Chains A and B, each alone.
Chain A
């Protein structure tokens, strides 16, 4: 099987999962498609070197691509004292569940750490490497992110007990 066919076979089955992770990071369906596409491109360009375990590299590529997106200054969010209501819609047009709504209201950096830690099962050193920060900083972001998530869920009337054990 040639390289392109090999990549195509892998990408066809991996793209949905990668886009799902990207969606949790950015909570925007259209942007998640862009991020997943960029990640797939990075995988394609390194396919010969990573073909034995492309999925691990692809997950990392999704994370780093999202971080790149948030760092690009012309895409950076404008800080406001009160966050505007930004509902999260699913691809079928329905409103996302409260946990995703709450996650959307967690600041970018903290949300990224939460998704990488609790969804991607990355270790703190791995997260620190992706974000280019210290392990202590990543831990601190995770802690503040969880606290913020609890607060947001409580404001929506969802009991924060569901986060016990995280």
Chain B
């Protein structure tokens, strides 16, 4: 981080990034985001720019592979948006890789091995079968094997990946929280307009409590993402991703109850956010796996004295106002 972004610049970036992400075509939206200064903002103030862009990717579902740029930023790849990432995922216990189709024109690919990181040149761009899964719209490409091309190992892979993984988890936490907040807003307005028993369902305490519970989960996830972005502690980033996964789960469960039957249908937007969140909740570690890993570290004494955030960690002021 070279210089923090002030409130005026942040407001302007928020506007131009939102406009870019509202474009329907992923590749064009990505071009627009880059043209709006996303990579420069990432370089100037990662915490703030990531919070804005990923919060927007969550609320608009305009996913443009910005995660690739965050990872590239941390593995020392050229900062021109030309590097994609093959993300390790498991399917039925088997390890494989996926990449963002929005970034199929990338010239390089970071291949995340079990203990290695390689930068592979891909002159012809990315190609492979599209992952259908729970959310085909995200447009993930399946990459069971590294593509052919000149491959250069990245030095100090373990430390580099630890930092990059933490940055990626922070970014996805903002996206999950942003999407969950949008689901909550939809549920709030639905609850106020839907009438049963002669009154709006927002007057029922059972409904209010589900909505309140959703906000609580989102606020915890947002605070944790902010803390991890501030101190760049990999444990804090794992916590943030776990809390964001939980927030998405809570928002999905409670808000669907508020929408009732219509929330289950394709006529309502709920499923779009819900299914996107299922997929992003899985990427770079789902909450259950993260909790199990943190629990193992706790049990073996590796987290003794870990406090996640300290009072003299200073959160970016522009992100503290919500």
The finding on whether chains A and B are genuine partners in a shared complex, rather than unrelated, reads no
Residues on A lying within 8 angstroms of B by beta carbon are none
